[in-house]
Structure 1
């Protein structure tokens, strides 16, 4: 019997080079993430991201990750770099999201099970809470998502090619990975990227 669950979208975050971007796209990534947070080891400048985006093929979502920036700063950076979506990776409210001209993806940094319902009704990224922002590799407890409508949730935090298949039964809209497919911070491993995407999209027979 065919599986009727939708195929999750996959975002490869922390792209720092055209080479890594093309590896991700070639492997079937639906979205690429660019980190505009200066304290991250995966930080890229607006100019660097623009140079990469200019050479990308069509039909790939470009997501800019922002921490502690005003709506105006986010909009300006997205417009200059060619981002199609702004990932707001810090605590904001609806008024902040409405002030953006760029389409926004709020991030829930979950500390407790009830947190996964923040921004319910919106597409949102749910990550494990940690003091630093992004790429910490800390996993969320999947038990928190039992009985939850995950069709608008993108799961992040500690995902790897080895554990991503554990998420398939929950019906997440998508999954987001950064450190789990790297050989060094900001440097993607081709085999890990390819295996992660294949398994995330439901092919558990990866070799």
Structure 2
């Protein structure tokens, strides 16, 4: 079983960004969806990203945008990966000039097999887009390979340990680690990352 990668999403300020990285986050997420309370303008994201240490993935979250808009905003923000939260055709993805990650908004167990040959993010379907804390039923992952799945939706310090047995490629957390929309709770981030990356039988040091 490999150590999962962990992304902390909904970053809006440099303090939360640096703290997440210091606690072991592999990636940070920036929401470029204006209806979200965690929205950040590409220019403001760029100012944060400029101050990050090397080897941290910078992910931009996009909803219902054209490939051209995504390319433009990605360049402004200097992100390294575009997270696509809507269905699009092959031609759309071919027009992207930045690496991308497709998102499965799961409604049923069969959705677990969508894009099964690609790395993808799996989140619970909600009418809006993200940040509502709804979980995917863990039983939907039984009997399928999860090594290319990044799990999102309702992950927190209380339930992350039980999900590690599925050997997901990674975890993505946002609203459950906040003290207010767009503002992270430092202790929750630290505890979440410790538990997500904890090896079997390893004890977490108290802090």
TM-score by length of 2: 0.95
State whether structure 2 residue 101 is matched by structure 1 residue 85. Answer: no
Contact 1:35–1:66 (8 Å) recurs in 2: yes
Q: Paired residue for 1:178?
A: 174
Structure 1 unaligned runs (5+)? Answer: none
Q: Paired residue for 1:159?
A: 155
State whether structure 2 residue 76 is matched by structure 1 residue 115. Answer: no
State whether structure 2 residue 104 is matched by structure 1 residue 98. Answer: no
Structure 2 unaligned runs (5+)? Answer: none
Deviation sequence 1:126-149 (CA, Å, 0-9, x none): 000000001111011010001111
State whether structure 2 residue 62 is matched by structure 1 residue 66. Answer: yes
Separation in structure 2 between the aligned mates of residue 89 and residue 130 of structure 1, nearest angstrom = 12
190, 194, 204: which one pairs with 1:198? Answer: 194
What is the CA distance between 1:119 and its match in structure 2?
1.1
Separation in structure 1 between the aligned mates of residue 122 and residue 91 of structure 2, nearest angstrom = 20
SS at match of 1:175: strand
CA pair 93-119 structure 1, distance change in 2 beyond 3 A:
farther
Q: Paired residue for 1:146?
A: 142
Q: Paired residue for 1:17?
A: 13
Contact 1:168–1:202 (8 Å) recurs in 2: no
28, 32, 37: which one pairs with 1:36? Answer: 32
Runs of 4+ in structure 1 over 6 Å off: none
Separation in structure 2 between the aligned mates of residue 93 and residue 169 of structure 1, nearest angstrom = 33
Deviation sequence 1:133-168 (CA, Å, 0-9, x none): 011110110100011111110000000011111111
Deviation sequence 1:38-82 (CA, Å, 0-9, x none): 000000001110110111111000000000101111111111111
TM-score by length of 1: 0.95
SS at match of 1:11: strand
Please give the residue correspondences for 1:115-134 in structure 2 after superposition, counting only pairs within 5 Å.
115-134=111-130
